[in-house]
């Protein structure tokens, strides 16, 4: 009888229970933001690499929406500050990668040395605690928040992630790279510990603890992420994992590196086994997080965002900054790099131009993939122009949270694009970067304008550079002088952007004292050979009628030279034309190499067909003393005419061959 009563009661209450459950609000979706350090647009199979092995990223792309035109800042700290604030760098003030230095606010100095024509903005070195961050917005909405990994947004405790909305943290400082290297013991001092004495004493402070000897920090990040997910599987959480890989100082698992050293790059670019090894470790870390979500049944209700903090590093090796180039030849890190990678740069962003630290596409375009099963179409692609400061409003939109009234948001939600219900409501996208090669860029549709603050011949082509990215993804042809109205229109957008965000725009330096320019001859000395120093191989080089003509003899022709003195990056400017056009490349060998490598150490370009002169500019990422440089031309297709060849660089003595005094 008791059983019958219980059964009847259950039957009567079941509909009420169902109605009650229907009234309960659905659990908020979890959010995982996985940010890779220095991963370029082409650095995984999903985006076109045929050398790197990234099976988890590639599988994720089939489950996610993949953005082809996503952007970050040229360096890491500005991107990270924009992610957490939703603001342009010109508004929040962190414009350069200085988050590991003493706390200073963004400022425009009142004076500069007399050799500087402009007063240039100085970056803030921390994210202002007054910002109402993405983490704080989610925490205040009931999310458990965690930051795991690189921070680089403030050296001192008032500026650490604990003060910016994160409940759980795993980090250290100073942190342009991983804590004391990639392998445990990491040498991290707990907060409050006595610092080492001495001018050159080094220390890292934070809450990263040592693991077993030899533990790899990227693997440890995965373990800490798994632990956080386990502990919060029954409540909404925000996991902000900023991976230490693949930033210098190039810690890598030698077993992986040895495998890649036996392979070649099918496209003839990339091909650095150290970078390939580090990317495999990052891919494994990402895969472990996805597997944990699956194992706990959380994947269906978790938004996962995968992206990078800037374009791929295509110019520095054997260390994390320029100081590494001054190390002695017996430095262990330098020896290790040369053992595995030779003179190869970390990666190549081809077909994009340049890389990290530059306003060209190679420095700012990054991978971006977003997954939310059942809400975002799998294996989808979007060419919407989106960026790092859009992440804040997009996450709030996807989680059903309003924009906080106390926070100025410059970003725009691309949730309608993800859901397939609408388009991005923005006219133009801006990148403010007043450092290294200073300037500001705007992209509107297929058009991109870069405005430089100063004239620096050799670094770029004029104060304005205009490119049509649909027709010229590699930014090889500057159209600024041909399309003055388009430049004017985009320039006006930049002016509005500067006014709206309060950008610290450069000003003339009152102390500037320009040096008197020395008169330069306009051409070669009378009787001199204008092609002196160029050695034609497998071709004839004929100088006549105001141009140099290269005619092939049936093999792959090139012009070689040993007259360029440099140990750092150089820029090639080539003015040429060809009836049939075709592919070309620059290849080099350094002083410590006895022969040209079978792969790598090349920069490719394409010379279009036609009778009009074409201007081609290429950045050549040298990092050691140059011995010989070869310029391969498509003369095997049809003769190539050359008006001029110019090599310039910060550490190079300019070398120019002018074959005509007039531009045809």
pLDDT in tens, 359-411: 999 999 999 999 999 999 999 999 999 999 999 999 999 999 999 999 999 99
Cα(565)–Cα(300) distance, rounded to whole angstroms? 58
The answer to the question of residue 371 being in a domain is yes
* Predicted local distance difference test score (pLDDT) of residue 464: 95
**CATH assignment at residue 452:** 3.30.1120.10
Judgement on whether residues 267 and 187 belong to the same structural domain of the protein: yes
33 φ, ψ to 5°?
Answer: -110, 115
Higher model confidence: residue 106 or residue 337?
106
* Predicted local distance difference test score (pLDDT) of residue 14: 46
Considering only 417-426, 503-512, 564-573, which range has the smallest mean pLDDT? 564-573
**CATH assignment at residue 599:** 2.60.120.260
Cα(291)–Cα(55) distance, rounded to whole angstroms? 13
* Predicted local distance difference test score (pLDDT) of residue 481: 92
* Predicted local distance difference test score (pLDDT) of residue 520: 46
The CA dihedral of 237, 392, 157, 169, to the nearest 10 degrees, is 20
Is pLDDT above 80 for 81?
A: yes
The answer to the question of residue 513 being in a domain is no
Cα(89)–Cα(102) distance, rounded to whole angstroms? 19
Instruction: Label residue 16 exposed, middle or buried (CB < 10 Å: 0-12, 13-18, 19+).
Output: exposed
DSSP conformational letter for 197? P
* Predicted local distance difference test score (pLDDT) of residue 97: 96
pLDDT in tens, 575-604: 999 988 888 899 888 776 666 665 678 888
* Exposure of 301 in the CB half-sphere (CA atoms within 13 A): 15
Judgement on whether residues 553 and 487 belong to the same structural domain of the protein: no
Cα(376)–Cα(416) distance, rounded to whole angstroms? 10
Is pLDDT above 50 for 98?
A: yes
Judgement on whether residues 485 and 589 belong to the same structural domain of the protein: no
Instruction: Label residue 483 exposed, middle or buried (CB < 10 Å: 0-12, 13-18, 19+).
Output: middle
Judgement on whether residues 309 and 447 belong to the same structural domain of the protein: no
Judgement on whether residues 415 and 464 belong to the same structural domain of the protein: no
Higher model confidence: residue 608 or residue 316?
608
pLDDT in tens, 619-656: 888 877 787 889 999 988 889 999 999 988 877 778 88
* Predicted local distance difference test score (pLDDT) of residue 523: 46
Find residue 206's DSSP bridge partners. 172
* Predicted local distance difference test score (pLDDT) of residue 457: 58
**In the chain, pLDDT over 90 holds for what percent of residues?**
63
Read off the pLDDT of each residue in 552-558 and give the average, rounded to a whole number. Answer: 80
* Predicted local distance difference test score (pLDDT) of residue 460: 73
Is pLDDT above 90 for 543?
A: no
The answer to the question of residue 320 being in a domain is yes
Kindly give the pairing relationship between strand 204-206 and strand 172-173.
antiparallel
* Predicted local distance difference test score (pLDDT) of residue 17: 42
Domain endpoint, select from 356, 387, 419? 419
The answer to the question of residue 331 being in a domain is no
Cα(223)–Cα(279) distance, rounded to whole angstroms? 17
Cα(27)–Cα(392) distance, rounded to whole angstroms? 20
353 touches 300 (CB < 8 A): no
The answer to the question of residue 233 being in a domain is yes
Cα(448)–Cα(435) distance, rounded to whole angstroms? 19
* Predicted local distance difference test score (pLDDT) of residue 563: 83
3-state SS string for 125-159: CCCCCCCCCHHHHHHHCCCEEEEEECCCCCCCHHH
Token representation of residue 530: 């204008």
Domain endpoint, select from 391, 419, 447? 419
pLDDT in tens, 215-269: 999 999 999 999 999 999 999 999 999 999 999 999 999 999 999 999 988 888 8
Judgement on whether residues 353 and 490 belong to the same structural domain of the protein: no
Considering only 410-424, 427-441, 455-469, which range has the smallest mean pLDDT? 455-469
**Domain that includes residue 91, residue range:** 32-99+123-193+202-325+338-419
Quickly state the pLDDT bin for 18 (edges 50, 70, 90): very low
The answer to the question of residue 492 being in a domain is yes
Higher model confidence: residue 457 or residue 596?
596
**In the chain, pLDDT over 70 holds for what percent of residues?**
88
Cα(91)–Cα(430) distance, rounded to whole angstroms? 12
* Predicted local distance difference test score (pLDDT) of residue 506: 96
* Predicted local distance difference test score (pLDDT) of residue 645: 93
pLDDT in tens, 102-134: 999 999 999 888 778 899 999 999 999 999 999
Judgement on whether residues 273 and 405 belong to the same structural domain of the protein: yes
pLDDT in tens, 339-363: 999 888 899 999 999 999 999 999 9
The answer to the question of residue 521 being in a domain is no
The answer to the question of residue 4 being in a domain is no
**CATH assignment at residue 384:** 3.40.720.10
Kindly give the pairing relationship between strand 144-149 and strand 237-242.
parallel
* Predicted local distance difference test score (pLDDT) of residue 494: 98
* Predicted local distance difference test score (pLDDT) of residue 202: 61
Judgement on whether residues 611 and 502 belong to the same structural domain of the protein: no
* Exposure of 10 in the CB half-sphere (CA atoms within 13 A): 6
Judgement on whether residues 415 and 443 belong to the same structural domain of the protein: no
Higher model confidence: residue 166 or residue 565?
166
CA torsion through residues 351, 353, 359, 363, sign:
positive
Judgement on whether residues 184 and 94 belong to the same structural domain of the protein: yes
What is the domain count for the chain? Answer: 3
* Exposure of 323 in the CB half-sphere (CA atoms within 13 A): 3
Residue whose C-alpha is closest to residue 166's, from 101, 105, 80, 251: 80
446 touches 467 (CB < 8 A): no
Judgement on whether residues 366 and 491 belong to the same structural domain of the protein: no
Q: Within 342-471, where are the H helices?
A: 361-364, 391-398, 415-419
Judgement on whether residues 376 and 466 belong to the same structural domain of the protein: no
* Predicted local distance difference test score (pLDDT) of residue 106: 98
């Amino acid at each position: 009888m008791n059983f019958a009563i219980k059964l009847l009661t259950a039957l009567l209450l079941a509909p009420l229970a169902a109605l009650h459950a229907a009234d309960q609000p659905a659990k908020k979706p979890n959010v995982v933001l996985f940010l890779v350090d220095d991963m370029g647009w082409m650095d995984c199979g999903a985006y076109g690499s045929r050398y790197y092995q990234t099976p988890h990223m590639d599988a994720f792309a089939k489950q996610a929406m993949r953005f082809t035109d996503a952007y970050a800042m040229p360096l890491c700290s500005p991107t990270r500050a924009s992610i957490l604030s939703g603001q342009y760098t010109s508004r929040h003030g962190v414009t350069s990668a200085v988050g590991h230095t003493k706390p200073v606010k963004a400022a425009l100095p009142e004076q500069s040395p007399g050799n500087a024509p402009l007063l240039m903005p100085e970056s803030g070195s921390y994210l202002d605690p007054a910002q109402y961050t993405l983490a704080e917005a989610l925490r205040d909405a009931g999310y458990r928040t965690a930051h795991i990994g690189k921070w680089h947004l403030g050296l001192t405790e008032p500026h650490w992630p604990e003060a910016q909305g994160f409940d759980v943290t795993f980090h250290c400082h100073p942190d342009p790279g991983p804590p004391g290297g990639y392998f445990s013991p990491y040498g991290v001092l707990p907060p409050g510990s006595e610092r080492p004495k001495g001018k050159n004493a080094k220390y890292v402070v934070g809450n990263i603890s040592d693991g077993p000897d030899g533990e790899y920090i990227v693997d440890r990040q995965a373990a800490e992420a798994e632990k956080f997910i386990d502990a919060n599987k029954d409540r909404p959480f925000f996991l902000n994992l900023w991976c230490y890989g693949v930033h210098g100082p190039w810690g890598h698992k030698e077993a992986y590196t040895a495998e890649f050293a036996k392979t070649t790059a099918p496209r003839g670019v990339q091909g650095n086994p150290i970078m390939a090894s580090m990317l495999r470790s990052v891919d494994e870390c990402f895969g472990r997080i996805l597997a944990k979500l699956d194992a706990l049944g959380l994947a269906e209700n978790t938004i996962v965002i995968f992206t990078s903090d800037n374009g791929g590093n295509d110019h520095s090796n054997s260390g994390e900054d320029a100081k590494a180039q001054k190390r002695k030849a017996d430095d262990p890190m330098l020896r290790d790099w040369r053992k595995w990678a030779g003179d190869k740069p970390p990666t190549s962003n081809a077909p994009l131009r340049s890389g990290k630290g530059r306003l060209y596409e190679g420095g700012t375009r990054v991978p971006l993939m977003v997954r939310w099963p059942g809400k975002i179409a799998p294996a989808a692609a979007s060419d919407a122009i989106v960026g790092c400061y859009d992440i804040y409003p997009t996450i709030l939109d996807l989680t059903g949270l309003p924009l906080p009234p106390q926070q100025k948001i410059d970003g725009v939600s691309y949730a309608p694009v993800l859901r397939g219900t609408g388009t991005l409501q923005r006219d133009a996208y801006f990148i403010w970067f007043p450092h290294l090669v200073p300037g500001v860029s705007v992209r509107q549709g297929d058009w991109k304008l870069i405005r430089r603050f100063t004239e620096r011949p050799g670094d770029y082509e004029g104060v304005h550079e205009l490119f049509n990215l649909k027709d010229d993804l590699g930014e090889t042809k500057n159209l600024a002088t041909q399309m003055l109205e388009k430049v004017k229109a985009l320039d006006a957008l930049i002016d509005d952007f500067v006014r709206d965000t309060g950008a610290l725009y450069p000003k003339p330096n009152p102390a500037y004292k320009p040096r008197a320019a020395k008169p330069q001859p306009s051409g070669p000395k009378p009787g001199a050979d204008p092609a002196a120093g160029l050695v034609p191989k497998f071709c004839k080089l004929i100088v006549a009628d105001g141009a140099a003509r290269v005619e092939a003899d049936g093999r792959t022709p090139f012009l070689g030279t040993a007259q360029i003195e440099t140990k750092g990056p150089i820029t090639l400017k080539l003015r040429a034309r060809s009836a049939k056009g075709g592919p070309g490349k620059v290849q080099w060998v350094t002083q410590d190499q006895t022969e040209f490598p079978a792969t790598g150490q090349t920069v490719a370009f394409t010379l279009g067909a036609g009778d009009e002169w074409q201007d081609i500019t290429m950045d050549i990422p040298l990092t050691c003393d140059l011995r010989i440089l070869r310029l391969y031309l498509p003369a095997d297709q049809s003769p190539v005419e050359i008006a001029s060849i110019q090599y310039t660089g910060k550490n190079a003595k300019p070398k120019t061959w002018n074959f005509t005094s007039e531009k045809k």
